[in-house]
């Protein structure tokens, strides 16, 4: 940790991290040098004051999230760190290429397993792993959405362990969240530190809603020239409701719930309005598969719209993202993504997977049981940092309790080595301190061969000292992510 130095200035001069840090190796990284110079030139309490102002701005904008299991109606601010994470253009180019390659392969996999199943017949992935997976949706079998795009919107979680090593930790292909925080973090930073944006050529992210709306329009059923798109939310009690309302407003489309929609006798979807029914062509849904349509899936769902799946299968409406994507981002399928890339593209993966042990395999189970204290163990269908064990941080009692859990149901778990995640400086009471971070860029697939990644990302930071869990529900916060070096308005497209 660095203290405020004897001149009253907070800088990187005495900043030290035990892990690989993105700002400091032997010398301050080139991308951070102008920031360090700026830091030395401003009053020592400026960051603290600006951080307090950021909290006020976030509250005024209503940027909150709810944590399931807590008192109903209680919402929190996601902690915000005012020190940006800075990526050079060269670093971003590599990430961008790797994300595009990965998303294209995952989309091809989903199209394949619900239609011809070439990858299964080739033995690249075990058939039972896919067809008996709880996230595989048999009702989708034989269905191919417009343009064969299943993964319109994805969030790919990436971690870094060295200057050159990036790993994909997780693929989010169902209803990925967090992009509103990426945008609002930038808005707040530009308000609080306008002078920094004169020093740095930071690529913009504010065109994301326009690209998202374009993605929705391109997903429309054949023959629809002026598609009517809506955003389908579970409602105000959903933890990401702020984001649903934010994105609908930014795109200029209606925010709807199940009671606002109905499927007509023609198997088309309509929105109820004061002027009468209005046909809907594209639904950006933020509701899980099983709650979307009580006619086909959960009969007790009060969130969905009866007949919605039927309308989608008949291609009278397009669901964004498509139903059934969970089979591709399931943690048991994750180890096979590098093979998918090679199978569908003939290319070597640009971004690596984290080595993964599948506990349903006897050898893997034996190794994990014997090395539990060295590994991170996760539930296959867990999320938000729940249902996982970080071995090196666990007590003996916690290790023994978790060992019993995996013994009872080994098929439900995977394990991975504890990576030395990179750190970035964060503002603490004593000055600057290193905290572990991950990165979630957002990819928009507008055609099977066209993916747009806005040059920015949600950086999540584990604010507790030594913690590797970055999830907001587990005490994590966020940072603005700056991608440098491109001309204003440029999009990363591949």
What CATH number is associated with residue 363? 3.30.1490.270
User: In which region does residue 120 sit, left (phi positive, over 0), alpha (psi from -120 to 50) or beta (all else)?
Assistant: alpha
Tokens found for residue 83: 């020190």
Please count the structural domains in the chain: 2
Q: DSSP H helical segments within 62-178, as ranges?
A: 89-113, 118-121, 127-131
Residue 124: CB atoms within 10 A of its CB come to 15
User: Would 99 be classed as within a structural domain?
Assistant: no
Q: Are residues 85 and 182 in the same domain?
A: yes
CA atoms within 13 A on the CB side of 161: 13
User: Would 112 be classed as within a structural domain?
Assistant: no
Domain edge (last residue) among 369, 388, 418: 418
User: Would 454 be classed as within a structural domain?
Assistant: yes
- Reference 410, options 335, 360, 356; nearest CA is 360
Q: Are residues 87 and 188 in the same domain?
A: yes
- Reference 48, options 2, 6, 7, 10; nearest CA is 10
pTM score: 0.91
User: Would 163 be classed as within a structural domain?
Assistant: no
Collapsed DSSP state (helix, strand, coil) of residue 299: coil
User: Would 85 be classed as within a structural domain?
Assistant: yes
Which position has the higher pLDDT, 178 or 383? 178
Q: Are residues 13 and 66 in the same domain?
A: yes
Q: Are residues 433 and 449 in the same domain?
A: yes
**Rounded to an integer, what distance in angstroms lies between the CA atom of residue 340 and that of residue 324?**
17
Q: Give the mean pLDDT of 203-216.
A: 97
Q: Give the mean pLDDT of 9-33.
A: 74
Contact 361, 368 (CB under 8 A): no
Which position has the higher pLDDT, 106 or 13? 106
Range of the domain at 370: 355-418
**Rounded to an integer, what distance in angstroms lies between the CA atom of residue 133 and that of residue 330?**
9
Q: Are residues 384 and 372 in the same domain?
A: yes
Confidence grade of residue 388 (pLDDT, cut at 50, 70, 90) = confident
Contact 190, 203 (CB under 8 A): no
- Reference 479, options 95, 23, 19; nearest CA is 23
Question: Across-strand partners of 352?
Answer: 167
Tokens found for residue 53: 């102002």
User: Does 66 score more than 70 pLDDT?
Assistant: no
Residue 266: CB atoms within 10 A of its CB come to 11
User: Does 411 score more than 70 pLDDT?
Assistant: yes
Confidence grade of residue 487 (pLDDT, cut at 50, 70, 90) = very low
Q: Are residues 414 and 425 in the same domain?
A: no
pLDDT number for residue 384 = 54
**Rounded to an integer, what distance in angstroms lies between the CA atom of residue 108 and that of residue 150?**
9
User: Does 93 score more than 90 pLDDT?
Assistant: yes
Q: Give the mean pLDDT of 449-462.
A: 96
pLDDT digits (tens, 9 = 90+) for 36-59: 999 999 998 899 999 999 988 888
pLDDT number for residue 4 = 47
Q: Are residues 384 and 434 in the same domain?
A: no
Domain edge (last residue) among 418, 436, 460: 418
pLDDT number for residue 24 = 75
Q: Are residues 476 and 397 in the same domain?
A: no
Q: Which of 69-73, 338-342, 373-377 has the lowest mean pLDDT?
A: 69-73
How many degrees, rounded to 5, is the angle at CA 168 between CA 409 and CA 164? 140
Q: Are residues 408 and 465 in the same domain?
A: no
Q: Are residues 9 and 84 in the same domain?
A: yes
Task: Say if residue 19 is exposed, middle or buried (CB neighbours under 10 Å; 0-12, 13-18, 19+).
Answer: middle
pLDDT digits (tens, 9 = 90+) for 241-291: 999 999 999 999 999 999 999 999 999 999 999 999 999 999 999 999 999
Confidence grade of residue 428 (pLDDT, cut at 50, 70, 90) = confident
Contact 325, 110 (CB under 8 A): yes
Largest CA distance in the chain: 76
User: Would 468 be classed as within a structural domain?
Assistant: yes
Confidence grade of residue 472 (pLDDT, cut at 50, 70, 90) = low
Residues 72-78: contacts with CB under 8 Å, at least 24 apart = 72/237, 76/472, 78/181, 78/472, 78/477, 78/478
Q: Give the mean pLDDT of 289-309.
A: 97
Q: Are residues 69 and 190 in the same domain?
A: yes
pLDDT number for residue 61 = 79
pLDDT number for residue 95 = 97
pLDDT number for residue 67 = 55
Domain edge (last residue) among 418, 449, 472: 418
| Secondary structure letter of residue 297 according to DSSP | S
pLDDT number for residue 386 = 61
How many degrees, rounded to 5, is the angle at CA 141 between CA 135 and CA 143? 115
pLDDT number for residue 224 = 96
Q: Are strands 282-285 and 229-232 parallel, antiparallel or unpaired?
A: parallel
User: Would 440 be classed as within a structural domain?
Assistant: yes
Confidence grade of residue 385 (pLDDT, cut at 50, 70, 90) = low
pLDDT number for residue 473 = 62
User: Does 8 score more than 50 pLDDT?
Assistant: no
Q: Are residues 371 and 487 in the same domain?
A: no
pLDDT number for residue 467 = 80
User: Would 15 be classed as within a structural domain?
Assistant: yes
Confidence grade of residue 489 (pLDDT, cut at 50, 70, 90) = very low
Question: Across-strand partners of 29?
Answer: none
């Amino acid at each position: 940790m660095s203290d405020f130095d004897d001149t009253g200035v907070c800088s990187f001069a005495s900043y030290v991290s035990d892990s690989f840090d993105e700002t400091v190796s032997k010398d301050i990284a080139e991308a951070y040098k102008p920031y360090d110079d700026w830091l030395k030139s401003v009053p020592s309490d400026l960051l603290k004051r600006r951080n307090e102002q950021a909290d006020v701005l976030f509250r005024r904008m209503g940027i909150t999230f709810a944590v399931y299991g807590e008192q109903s109606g209680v919402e929190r601010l996601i902690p915000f760190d005012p020190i940006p994470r800075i990526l050079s253009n060269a670093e971003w180019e590599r990430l961008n290429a790797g994300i595009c390659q990965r998303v294209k392969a995952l989309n091809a996999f989903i199209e394949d397993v619900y239609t011809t199943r070439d990858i299964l017949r080739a033995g690249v992935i075990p058939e039972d792993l896919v067809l008996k997976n709880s996230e595989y949706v048999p009702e989708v079998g034989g269905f191919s959405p417009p343009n064969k795009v299943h993964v319109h919107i994805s969030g790919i979680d990436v971690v870094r362990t060295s200057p050159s090593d990036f790993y994909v930790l997780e693929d989010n292909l169902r209803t990925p969240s967090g992009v509103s925080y990426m945008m609002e973090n930038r808005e707040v930073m530009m308000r609080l530190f306008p002078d920094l944006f004169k020093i740095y050529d930071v690529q913009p992210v504010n065109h994301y809603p326009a690209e998202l709306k374009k993605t929705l329009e391109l997903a429309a059923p054949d023959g629809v020239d002026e598609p009517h798109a809506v955003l389908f939310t579970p409602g105000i009690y959903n933890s990401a409701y702020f984001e649903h309302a934010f994105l609908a407003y930014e795109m200029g489309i209606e925010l709807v719930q199940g009671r606002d929609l109905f499927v007509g006798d023609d198997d088309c979807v309509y929105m109820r309005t004061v002027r009468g029914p209005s046909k809907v062509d594209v639904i950006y849904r933020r509701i899980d598969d099983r709650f979307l349509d009580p006619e086909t899936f959960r009969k007790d769902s009060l969130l969905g719209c009866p007949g919605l799946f039927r309308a989608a299968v008949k291609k009278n409406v397009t669901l964004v993202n498509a139903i059934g994507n969970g089979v591709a981002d399931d943690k048991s399928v994750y180890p096979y993504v590098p093979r998918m890339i090679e199978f569908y593209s003939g290319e070597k993966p640009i971004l690596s997977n984290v080595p993964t042990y599948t506990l349903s395999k006897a050898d893997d189970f034996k190794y994990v049981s014997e090395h539990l204290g060295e590994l991170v163990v996760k539930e296959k269908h867990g999320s938000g940092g729940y249902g996982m064990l970080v071995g090196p941080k666990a007590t003996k009692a916690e290790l023994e309790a978790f060992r019993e859990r995996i013994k009872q149901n080994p098929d439900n778990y995977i394990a991975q080595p504890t990576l030395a995640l990179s750190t970035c400086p964060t503002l603490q009471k004593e000055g600057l301190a290193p905290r572990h971070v991950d990165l979630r860029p957002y990819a928009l697939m507008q055609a099977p061969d066209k993916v747009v990644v806005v040059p920015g990302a949600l950086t999540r930071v584990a604010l507790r000292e030594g913690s590797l869990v970055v999830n907001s529900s587990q005490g994590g916060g966020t940072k603005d992510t700056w991608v440098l070096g491109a001309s204003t308005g440029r999009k990363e497209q591949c």
